[in-house]
Structure 1
Amino acid sequence: MGKFIGHLYPGLYLFYYGLYQATVVFKAMTVYDSLLYPSWPPRNKGIWARLWKISYGGLLKIVIGSILTVYVVFCLDDMMVLMDKKNALRFMYPKEWQHLTMFILLTLNGCVDVMSKNLLPRRCVLLEKCTLVLTFYVLLLLLMSHVQNSTGIELQTHCLLILVVFLLMLVLTIELWTPDTFHLLLIETFLFLMMGSWLIQVGFILYKPVTGYPWQDDDISDIMFITTFFCWHVMINASCLLGIYGISSLWYRHYCPSLKLMASKEAPHHKGSLYKLLQGVEQSEKEDQALLLSKSSS
Structure 2
Amino acid sequence: MFLFFGFTGVIDVLYFYKVDIPPNLDYASAFLAFGIEGFLFGNHLHGRSHMDVMVHMYLFYVIIACVICVALEARYRENVTVALARTYFTFLQGTWFYQIGFILYPPGGMAHWDQENHDQMMIITMIFSWHCAVVAVIMFFFVLIVGKMVKRGSTGNDFVRNDIQYQKVGANGLNSGESSRPIISNSSTMRQTFDETSEDEV
TM-score category, normalised to shorter length: 0.7 to 0.9
Please tell me whether residue 139 in structure 1 is matched to residue 34 in structure 2. no
Contact 1:197 1:233 in 2 (8 A): yes
Aligned match for 2:16, one of 117, 137, 148: 117
Once the two structures are aligned, what percentage of the paired residues are identical? Answer: 20
Please tell me whether residue 160 in structure 1 is matched to residue 58 in structure 2. yes
Aligned-partner SS, 1:146: coil
Distance in 2 (CA, whole Å) between partners of 1:222 and 1:167 is: 26
Cα drift, residue 123 of structure 1: 7.7
Aligned-partner SS, 1:175: helix
Cα drift, residue 136 of structure 1: 1.3
- Mark the CA change 1:131 to 1:228 in structure 2 (over 3 Å): closer, same or farther: same
Instruction: Say which structure, 1 or 2, has more relative contact order (CA 8 Å, 6+ apart).
Output: 1
Residue of structure 1 equivalent to 2:143? 245
Letter in 1 for 2:16: K
Distance in 2 (CA, whole Å) between partners of 1:150 and 1:122 is: 43
Letter in 2 for 1:190: Y
Cα drift, residue 155 of structure 1: 1.0
Aligned-partner SS, 2:17: helix
The Cα offsets for residues 180-219 of structure 1, whole Å up to 9 and x where unpaired, read as 3211101101101100001011111111269711000221
Letter in 2 for 1:203: G
Residue of structure 1 equivalent to 2:103? 205
Please tell me whether residue 262 in structure 1 is matched to residue 158 in structure 2. yes
Distance in 2 (CA, whole Å) between partners of 1:141 and 1:105 is: 12
Structure 2: gaps of 5 or more residues: 167-202
Contact 1:116 1:127 in 2 (8 A): no
Contact 1:164 1:191 in 2 (8 A): yes
Aligned-partner SS, 2:67: helix
Q: What is the 5 A alignment of 1:62-73?
A: none
Supply the RMSD in Å over aligned alpha carbons. 2.4
Number of residue pairs aligned between Structure 1 and Structure 2: 166
- Mark the CA change 1:122 to 1:219 in structure 2 (over 3 Å): closer, same or farther: closer
Distance in 2 (CA, whole Å) between partners of 1:209 and 1:219 is: 20
Residue of structure 2 equivalent to 1:189? 87
Cα drift, residue 240 of structure 1: 0.2
- Mark the CA change 1:115 to 1:146 in structure 2 (over 3 Å): closer, same or farther: same
Structure (1 or 2) with the greater helix fraction = 1
